[in-house]
Amino acid sequence: MQLTVWTYEGPPHIGAMRVATAMTGVHYVLHAPQGDTYADLLFTMIERRDKRPPVTYTTFQARDLGTDTAELFQSALADAYERFKPQAMLVGSSCTAELIQDDPGGLADALRLPVPVIPLELPAYQKKENWGAAETFYRIVRTLASPRQGQERPKNERPLANLLGPTALGFRHRDDIVEITRLLDSMGIGVNVVAPLGASPADIQRIPDADFNLVLYPEHALSAAQWLERAFKQPYTKTVPIGVNATRAFIAEVAQIAGVSADVPERTRLPWYSRSVDSTYLTGKRVFIFGDATHALAAARVASKELGFQVVGLGTYSREFAREIRAAAAEYGVEPLITDDYLEVEAAVRDSNPELVLGTQMERHIAKRLGIPCAVISAPVHVQDFPARYSPQMGFEGANVLFDTWVHPLMMGLEEHLLRMFREDFEFQEAPSHLGAAPQAPKEAPAARELAVAAPAEVALADTPATPSALVWLADAEAELRKIPFFVRGKAKRNTERYAAEKGISNITVETLYDAKAHFSR
Output the CA–CA distances (angstroms, integers) from residue 215 to 149, 316, 318, in the order listed.
Answer: 26, 19, 17
414 is in an annotated binding site: yes
User: 313, 337 in Cβ contact below 8 A?
Assistant: yes
Superfamily of segment(s) 472-521: Proto-chlorophyllide reductase 57 kD subunit B (1.10.8.550)
The predicted pLDDT at position 64 comes to 57
**Long-range contact set of residues 469-473: C-beta below 8 Å, sequence gap at least 24:** 470/501, 470/506, 471/497, 471/500, 471/501, 471/505, 471/506, 471/507, 471/508, 472/506, 472/507, 472/508, 473/508
Return the CATH architecture of domain 12-132.
Answer: 3-Layer(aba) Sandwich (3.40)
The predicted pLDDT at position 434 comes to 46
Set 68, 79, 109, 278: catalytic member = 278
Residue 134: closest CA among 270, 294, 251? 294
269-408 CATH choice from 3.40.50.880, 2.60.34.10, 3.40.630.30, 3.40.50.1980: 3.40.50.1980
- Asked whether the CA dihedral 118, 123, 124, 127 is positive or negative, the reply is negative
Residue 138 — φ and ψ, nearest 5°? -60, -45
pLDDT (tens, 9 = 90+) of the chain, 522 residues, equals: 455 557 899 999 999 999 999 999 999 999 988 777 777 888 888 888 888 999 999 887 655 565 678 888 999 999 999 999 999 999 998 877 677 777 899 999 999 999 999 999 999 889 999 999 999 999 999 999 976 644 666 677 899 999 999 999 999 999 999 999 999 999 999 999 999 999 999 999 999 999 999 999 999 999 999 999 999 999 999 999 999 999 999 999 999 999 999 999 888 887 777 677 456 667 889 999 999 999 999 999 999 999 999 999 999 999 999 999 999 999 999 999 999 999 999 999 999 999 999 999 999 999 999 989 999 999 999 888 899 999 999 999 999 999 889 988 776 655 555 555 555 555 555 545 444 444 455 555 444 444 444 444 443 333 445 555 678 999 999 989 888 876 678 888 888 999 999 999 999 999 999 999 888 876
* Separation of alpha carbons 101 and 105, rounded Å: 12
Instruction: DSSP for 107-123, please give it.
Output: HHHHHT-SS-EEE----
Peptide bond just before 218 cis, omega within 30 deg: no
Residue ranges per structural domain of the chain: 12-132, 160-258, 269-408, 472-521
* Separation of alpha carbons 197 and 23, rounded Å: 5
The predicted pLDDT at position 435 comes to 46
For 511, residues 6+ apart whose C-beta sits below 8 A from its C-beta are none
Give the pairing type, strands 55-57 and 117-119: unpaired
Q: What is the pTM of this model?
A: 0.78
User: 60, 36 in Cβ contact below 8 A?
Assistant: no
Bridge-partner residues for 215, per DSSP? 164
Q: Helix, strand, coil shares of the chain as percentages rounded to 5?
A: 55, 10, 35
The predicted pLDDT at position 423 comes to 58
Q: Is 278 a catalytic residue?
A: yes
Return the CATH architecture of domain 160-258.
Answer: 3-Layer(aba) Sandwich (3.40)
* Separation of alpha carbons 320 and 486, rounded Å: 53
Q: Is 216 helix (H, G, I), strand (E, B) or coil?
A: coil
The predicted pLDDT at position 462 comes to 38
The predicted pLDDT at position 263 comes to 94
For 218, residues 6+ apart whose C-beta sits below 8 A from its C-beta are 165, 240, 293, 294, 321
Instruction: DSSP for 270-292, please give it.
Output: HHHHHHSGGGGGGTT-EEEEEES
Residue 470 — φ and ψ, nearest 5°? -80, -10
Q: Is 488 helix (H, G, I), strand (E, B) or coil?
A: helix
The predicted pLDDT at position 146 comes to 73
402 is in an annotated binding site: no
Question: One fold for both 12-132 and 269-408?
Answer: yes
* Separation of alpha carbons 394 and 244, rounded Å: 9
User: 79, 101 in Cβ contact below 8 A?
Assistant: no
User: 466, 501 in Cβ contact below 8 A?
Assistant: yes
State the number of CA atoms in the 13 A half-sphere of 388 facing the CB.
Answer: 0
175 is in an annotated binding site: no
> Left if phi > 0, otherwise alpha if psi is -120 to 50, otherwise beta: which for 172?
left
User: 47, 386 in Cβ contact below 8 A?
Assistant: yes
For 446, residues 6+ apart whose C-beta sits below 8 A from its C-beta are none
Residue 231: closest CA among 211, 208, 214, 200? 208
The predicted pLDDT at position 148 comes to 60
**What sections of 464-521 are H helices per DSSP?**
475-482, 486-503, 510-520
